[in-house]
Amino acid sequence: MPRLFTALEIPRDAALSLSLLRGGLPGARWIDVENYHLTLRFIGDVEGHVADEIANALDRVRRPSFTLTLSGVGAFGSKKPHSIYAGVAPSPDLVALQAEIERICQRLGLPAETRKFVPHVTLARLRNASDGDVALYLSGRGNFSTLPFRVGRFVLMSSRESVGGGPYVVEEAWPLLSADAREEEPHALPQRMLRP
């Protein structure tokens, strides 16, 4: 059974900028560029009928498209860093989209997410990286930023258990509404892509 999560894809130009952050940190396993994404809600291993219920409920999301900027780098793991990530500039639209997806998941009986939503793109998983090396890596890249990019859809992705995450597969995608679509056709149909 694949693990499911909702996410935003990272466009090619932003992914290229992120790829330039790779290297220079002993003990880091770098995420493949094609697997960069921003997780909105981890769902986990679910039965097929639950996956279908989630996809059907996500069909009703009607949120505007928005602009996002990746900004800064950081590490997760306060006592022992376990991953390096690129941060995201504050975005009320992103937070609203994530909150709606969280509410949908809870209405379907999934347990509430206990961790605070910290939007990020994971760059590397750390194994036996020293605190000093991590601090040195972060201090040299603190001013990282991408050009703003347009977020035009969110996706339901799956992953198989593997070392370091990935490969990730887009199972379904739902467009976010452009300004024109919101004015002309507020009930535009989502792009259904779920494989049988």
Q: Out of 37, 49, 82, 187, which one is annotated catalytic?
A: 37
Residue 187 a catalytic site member: no
Contact, 6 vs 40, CB < 8 A? yes
Q: Which of 146, 154, 166, 148 is nearest to 54 (CA)?
A: 154
Q: Out of 49, 82, 120, 187, which one is annotated catalytic?
A: 120
Listed in sequence order, the DSSP H helices in the chain are 12-19, 48-58, 92-107, 131-139, 179-184
End-to-end Cα separation, the chain, in angstroms: 14
User: Residue 97: CB partners within 8 Å, gap ≥ 6?
Assistant: 40, 61, 63, 154, 176
Residue 82 a catalytic site member: no
Q: Which of 109, 106, 94, 110 is nearest to 39 (CA)?
A: 94
Name the packing angle between helices 92-107 and 48-58 (round to 10°).
Answer: 140
User: Residue 8: CB partners within 8 Å, gap ≥ 6?
Assistant: 37, 38, 40, 68, 94, 151, 154, 155
Catalytic residues: 37, 120
